[in-house]
Amino acid sequence: MKVVAIANQKGGVGKTTTALNLSAALALRGQRVLLVDLDPQANCTSGLGIEPPDGCSMYPVLLGDTTVAQQILPTGRENLSLLPSEMDLAGVEIELARSDDHLTRLRNILQALKPNDLFEYCILDTPPSLGVLMTSALAAADEILIPLQCEYFALEGLSKIVHVIEQIRASGANPGLQIGGILMTMFMRNNLAQQVINEVQSHFGDVIYKTVVPRTVRLS
């Protein structure tokens, strides 16, 4: 099972849209996918049209009160399962911050899923912050996919996230964390967007995906 965190501490850059569509596309290709909604705003969950039962999220799993298997829901789509979120998940930030192993709990939970081969991909949708949920996702991931809006301020956010990735590696929690790629989103044909892409390319080269996601009302 390959764990991919869709992360960028900025909001509204296309994380959830990417997590949903990438998961659905992999599932359509016949890959068994577990989509984990780690954002208390639960947009992945509602985006799949799912209203989870009360208390169904990663929250009790992270606190050791239940198993991950008990929180996984079918989505009505072949090969695609969801570990949903709800507003209460926000409480994890406070509860886990107190514990010494908060960075590695999610990692250990997901590592335990790897041997049983139930899923080929685990896609993590993360909240727009640098809190416990987001850093836990980075500690748990084999690779990070960074959606980046084709806007100037996006560049400042990018250096910040690269710094966090280096910190996670250095902490020893996840020395093998790779940048899978930077995905340019909401592209419009204008000079600014092209300049931003060129700028990212000059710093990161091949790490930027060739596919650029256009701004289109069909996605929103």
> Which residue from 148, 133, 146, 142 is spatially nearest to 177, judged by alpha carbons?
142
**In whole angstroms, what is the distance from residue 67 CA to residue 201 CA?**
42
By CB under 6 A, which span of 11-19, 87-95, 158-166, 169-177 interacts with ligand ADP?
A: 11-19
Strands of the sheet with 178-185, listed across from one edge: 73-74, 80-83, 33-37, 121-125, 2-6, 143-149, 178-185
**Which does residue 116 bind out of Mg ion, ligand ADP, none, counting CB within 5 to 8 angstroms by kind?**
none
> Which residue from 204, 198, 183, 199 is spatially nearest to 17, judged by alpha carbons?
183
Residue 24 vs residues 6, 33, 179, 192, 201: alpha-carbon distances, Å: 14, 8, 22, 31, 28
| Least separation in angstroms between CB 153 and Mg ion | 18
Among 90, 162, 179, 219, binds ligand ADP (CB under 6 A): 219
Tally of residues, the chain: 220
By CB under 6 A, which span of 9-17, 105-113, 137-145, 174-182 interacts with ligand ADP?
A: 9-17
Binding of ligand ADP at residue 186 (CB under 6 A)?
yes
Binding of ligand ADP at residue 153 (CB under 6 A)?
no
> Which residue from 94, 32, 41, 20 is spatially nearest to 63, judged by alpha carbons?
94
| Least separation in angstroms between CB 123 and Mg ion | 13
| Least separation in angstroms between CB 219 and ligand ADP | 4
Beta strands (DSSP E) in the chain are 2-6, 33-37, 73-74, 80-83, 121-125, 143-149, 178-185
- Other beta carbons within 10 Å of 195: 13
By CB under 6 A, which span of 50-58, 170-178, 188-196, 212-220 interacts with ligand ADP?
A: 212-220
| Least separation in angstroms between CB 7 and Mg ion | 10
**Which does residue 105 bind out of Mg ion, ligand ADP, none, counting CB within 5 to 8 angstroms by kind?**
none
User: Which positions lie near Mg ion, rule CB under 5 A?
Assistant: 15-16, 43
Task: Point out which residues pair with 121 in neighbouring strands.
Answer: 2, 33
Binding of ligand ADP at residue 149 (CB under 6 A)?
no
Binding of ligand ADP at residue 128 (CB under 6 A)?
yes
**Which does residue 215 bind out of ligand ADP, Mg ion, none, counting CB within 5 to 8 angstroms by kind?**
ligand ADP
Residues near ligand ADP (CB under 6 A) are 11-17, 43, 128, 185-186, 213, 215-216, 219-220
